[in-house]
Structure 1
Amino acid sequence: MELDVNVQLEYQLSGPTDLLLQIEVADLADQRLQSSNIEISDTEHLARVAADDGLGERIWIRTDGIFRCDYTARVVVDRPALDISTLDAVAPHLLPGDTVRYLMPSRYCPSDEFQSFVEAEFGAYQGGARIAAMRDWITKAFSYVPGSSNGQTTALDSFVQRQGVCRDYAHVMIALARASTIPARFASVYAPGVTPPDFHAVAEVFLDGTWHLVDATGMATADTIARIGVGPDASGVAFLTTFGPCTLRQQSVSVTA
């Protein structure tokens, strides 16, 4: 699938401010960039750095006044939408070293709080079948409610409230997977058909020796998703992190097939 991505950001800064920007599609074997262009308003400093797990890049920016960014890209996604329920889990002692940290609780995904629940609710399933059962449970049990969560909402909060946005769905999916000893990480992505149009968030789980995308909202499948970056949870892969006060003036995200 070929996707066109178009993003506009505009923020008012109250003084010289450091920004960490991560909005560009990662150029990977299963998602090949055909074209990409980013235009950023005047800056005092701009430098690219590698993102987590070597997937994509971040941009360090220091600027003042109004910060503007326009980004366009065309990407060909060449990834099958597999039946995840058929995939096997990897025994913990056989996991690659770079996946181990994704077994551990993180700021927004206190997975140790979910161990009793996953055994009681999903104990009859193993590996990918358990991931599929947990994904389907979240999709049915939760309501997608914009504005129902904020930057402090954890997977446990969302689990109790049974509502949230894509970020919250992903956090719950990650927490349940980790509580099942399956490595899981947060993926910031673009996907068509997301309502409302915005940066999207899904989980990635490690099964059968590689990572697989899982969208518990049901809005996107693996063959329609372009990854931006990954991290333990939303705190590690925000599209924009500001190290100082800022005010949103305008933001739009468009993804079309």
Structure 2
Amino acid sequence: MKFKVSGDIVYETYSDSTIILNIHALRTPGQTVLEESFTVEPYFKIEELVSEQGENRLARIEVPANTKVGFSYQALVDNSYRVLTRDDLYDVPVAAMDASVLPFLFPSRYCQSDKLYRLANNKFGNIEHPYAKVMALTEWIFRNVEYLSGSTDSQTSAYDTVTEQAGVCRDFAHLGIALCRALTIPARYFTGYAYQLNPPDFHACFEAYLGGHWVVFDPTKLCPLNGFIKIASGRDAADTAIANLFGNIFCHTIQTSCELCDEGFEPLFYDPSDIKAISYQ
């Protein structure tokens, strides 16, 4: 399916500053960027970077003090995904995992899986099938954590979310990742543009490593799982921030959109009674 996505951000600087943006759609085997443009107004030199993981696309811009600067990204993207069934979603022993997957088993800044080991195993450890485990913890987050805008901040971790039982998509994703890792299932943070998300915004969910595939899950259930355009993936939000700001900077506005350009879209949400999942690889 083809989607037209856009992201517009306006900052004001009060000192000489450097801004690193992460709003470009990824180019992957399952996601083709057909057209795109990225503009800065007023114009400043843009340096294009690739993250250390070799996937996330970054733009670094130096902006002088006392400047109001706007960034505008637009792209036409064709995304595709693989539908997986029960036989595809087997458990992968740690000894058989590729080295690139192992970092997504470890605790990270916002996903303290070591602190949630007892909770994860008491609630979900007796579930045999790995996909059923991830489905159960995703459903548990949806039912036990209230989606509440403004209830958390950039310091909130998965451990905090369990205690406060409220958060936004970022917090739902972090908790899902931490619980997966506590169950010895690698999991990573996924950020992107999302079709039918209301109100429109950058969206976060997570991917679990099942049967050698990165399978997408969204505990918020705010938008269809087959309507994502991926921007970045990483251990948690620290690896995938939409913007990293260095200097005295104020954000005026952030606006996004994700519009369908094809017909025949059928929204896909997981059904716990039907083992069917999707991978964007």
Q: TM bucket by the smaller chain?
A: over 0.9
Q: Structure 2 unaligned segments of length 5 or more: list them.
A: 261-281
Deviations 1:127-175 (A, max 9, x none): 1111111111111112111001101101111111111110000000000
The alignment of Structure 1 onto Structure 2 pairs a total of residues equal to: 257
Kept in 2, the 8 Å contact 1:155–1:172? The answer is: yes
Q: Which has the higher helix share?
A: 1
Give the Cα separation in 2 of the matches to 1:128 and 1:253.
32
Q: Residue 123 of structure 1 is aligned with which of 125, 131, 137?
A: 125
User: Matched residues in 1 for 2:83 and 2:221: separation?
Assistant: 13
After TM superposition, the structure 1 = structure 2 runs for residues 79-228 of structure 1, keeping only pairs within 5 Å, are: 79-82=81-84, 87-125=89-127, 126-228=129-231
Q: Is the 8 A contact 2:10 2:254 kept in 1?
A: yes
Q: 2:37 matched to 1:55?
A: no
* 1:226-241 matched pairs, under 5 angstroms: 226-241=229-244
Shift of 1:114: 0.9
CA contact (8 A) 1:85 1:130 kept: no
Q: CA deviation at 1:53?
A: 2.6
1:86–1:118 distance in 2 versus 1, CA, 3 Å: farther
Q: TM-score, normalised by structure 2?
A: 0.87
The one-letter code sitting in structure 2 at the alignment partner of 1:151 is: S
Change (3 A) 1:23 1:159: same
Cα distance in 2, alignment partners of residues 132 and 238 from structure 1: 26
CA distance in 2, matches of 1:52, 1:242: 18
Q: Structure 1 length normalisation: TM-score? A: 0.95
8 Å CA contact 2:48–2:57 kept in 1: the answer is: yes
Q: Distance in 2 between matches of 1:26 and 1:97?
A: 22
* Percent of aligned pairs with the same amino acid: 29
Q: Does 1:78 align with 2:80?
A: yes
Cα separation, partners in 2 of 1:192 and 1:52, compared to 1, 3 Å: farther
CA deviation digits over 1:43-99, x for unaligned, max 9?
654211112532231111111212210111111111145457961121011111011
What secondary structure does 1:223 align onto?
A: coil
The reply to whether residue 68 of structure 1 matches residue 41 of structure 2 is no
RMSD: 1.7
Secondary structure (helix, strand or coil) at the match of 2:15 reads: coil
Question: Is the 1:52–1:229 Cα contact (8 Å) retained in structure 2?
Answer: no
Query: 1:84-128: per-residue Cα shift (whole Å, max 9, x none)?
Result: 796112101111101111111111111101111111101221311
Identify if the C-alpha distance between structure 1 residues 242 and 84 changes in structure 2 by more than 3 Å, giving closer, same or farther: farther
Q: Which whole-Å CA distance do the structure 1 matches of 2:87 and 2:132 have between them?
A: 4
Note if contact 1:9-1:251 (Cα within 8 Å) is conserved in structure 2. Answer: yes
